[in-house]
Amino acid sequence: MLLASPSISNLQIPVFNPPRNKTSSSYSSDIFLIKSMATTDNIERSGRTRAPMSAFEARVSLVLALAAQTSSVSQRFLMELANETAKYVFPSRRFESRSLEEALMAVPDLETVEFKVLRRNDQYEIREVESYFIAETTMPGKYGFDFAGASRSFNVLAEYLFGKNTREKQMEMTTPVFTRRVKSDGEKMDMTTPVITRKVEDQDKWTMSFVMPSKYGDNLPLPKDSSVTIKEVPKKVIAIVAFSGFVTDEEVERRDSVLRNLLKNDPEFRVKEDASVEVAQYNPPFTLPFNRRNEIALEVERKEA
């Protein structure tokens, strides 16, 4: 009587002579392969499980799985990093321009402070800037734009932004960087992007600030470096003048004086008492001078009727 599912091992395999071009040893190997296949088929049909994996095999499998997962995460991280870096290195966003000089300026496509233009003319622009948070550090030395001092302050803030904080959190880059003169009483600064450098006039000091990504609000990680402080810059109205090229202390002094004189004749706004000059720099150091966007800003208030 014929079984419904005969096993391969019970089948009669006809005997045949090996081909002439095969040796007896290779023919024996073929027979062994057929028997092995039959045995495997019997195991699968009988429902028996395979032999359990050894401890060594389990470790190897785990290592390979973790390596594959790590490779996938690393690739995603590198892609995200490359994407963020490309935004910073290759500026693609432009502000509304009033001149050819301003038309050539380009800024990185990164988060920046939110503002609304209240009025603009051929010389300057009046903006209403929303509140934002900054990470700030006091710059060494008496100047705000010497290379050594600026580089040191920038690196301190960058370390905080990229993980040197209590949560070891890497946050997104923003723009611009603010450099600002400030009073010794520690007035609040406004930033999100750029980096702000301020001068503490009574002590002949400047501060530099990074604007913090807005998604964190006031829930920012604390810096591990005691020289870095987190502050909120309140909503304010400012007058700004944009210019290209590299920033120097002499250029800041000159443009600060020119803007103050222009605002004396403004029909609606005046420079706020004790307002300190603030410089916003939107581009990395290697940007071509004519593509760089810098801004001189002074806080203003409406004139009394």
Of these ranges, 27-41, 78-92, 115-129, the one predicted with the greatest mean pLDDT is 115-129
What is the structure's pLDDT at 31?
42
What is the structure's pLDDT at 207?
93
What is the structure's pLDDT at 144?
83
- At 66, the pLDDT band (50, 70, 90 cuts) reads low
Give a yes or no: residue 24 inside a domain. no
In the structure encoding, which two tokens stand for residue 240, read together? 């700004």
Confidence check: pLDDT of 98 > 60:
yes
Confidence check: pLDDT of 36 > 80:
no
Mean pLDDT confidence for 188-216? 69
Confidence check: pLDDT of 72 > 90:
no
**Domain total of the chain:** 1
pLDDT over 70, % of the chain: 60
Mean pLDDT confidence for 98-114? 80
Give a yes or no: residue 118 inside a domain. yes
Contact indicator for 180, 276 with CB cutoff of 8 Å: yes
What's the mean pLDDT when you consider all of the chain? 76
73-87, 199-213, 231-245, 251-265: least confidently modelled range = 73-87
Give a yes or no: residue 154 inside a domain. yes
pTM: 0.65
Confidence check: pLDDT of 233 > 50:
yes
Give a yes or no: residue 113 inside a domain. yes
Give a yes or no: residue 27 inside a domain. no
What is the structure's pLDDT at 105?
81
Give a yes or no: residue 45 inside a domain. no
Alpha-carbon distance values, 31 to 10, 11, 45, 146 (Å)? 15, 14, 21, 84
What is the structure's pLDDT at 7?
43
In our burial notation (b when 16+ CB lie closer than 10 A, e otherwise), range 214-239 reads beeeeebbebeeeebbbbbbeebbbb
Give a yes or no: residue 79 inside a domain. no
The secondary structure element, H or E, covering residue 74 is helix 55-89
11-15, 67-71, 134-138, 270-274: least confidently modelled range = 11-15
Of these ranges, 17-26, 146-155, 271-280, the one predicted with the greatest mean pLDDT is 271-280
Confidence check: pLDDT of 88 > 60:
no
Give a yes or no: residue 208 inside a domain. yes
In the structure encoding, which two tokens stand for residue 135, read together? 């990470």
Contact indicator for 126, 269 with CB cutoff of 8 Å: yes
- 206-224 pLDDT, tens digit per residue, is 999 999 999 999 999 999 9
Which CATH number do you get for residue 133? 3.20.80.10
The one-letter amino acid code at 216 reads: Y
Range of the domain at 272: 100-302
- Higher-confidence residue: 24 or 237? 237
Mean pLDDT confidence for 27-31? 45
What is the structure's pLDDT at 149?
86
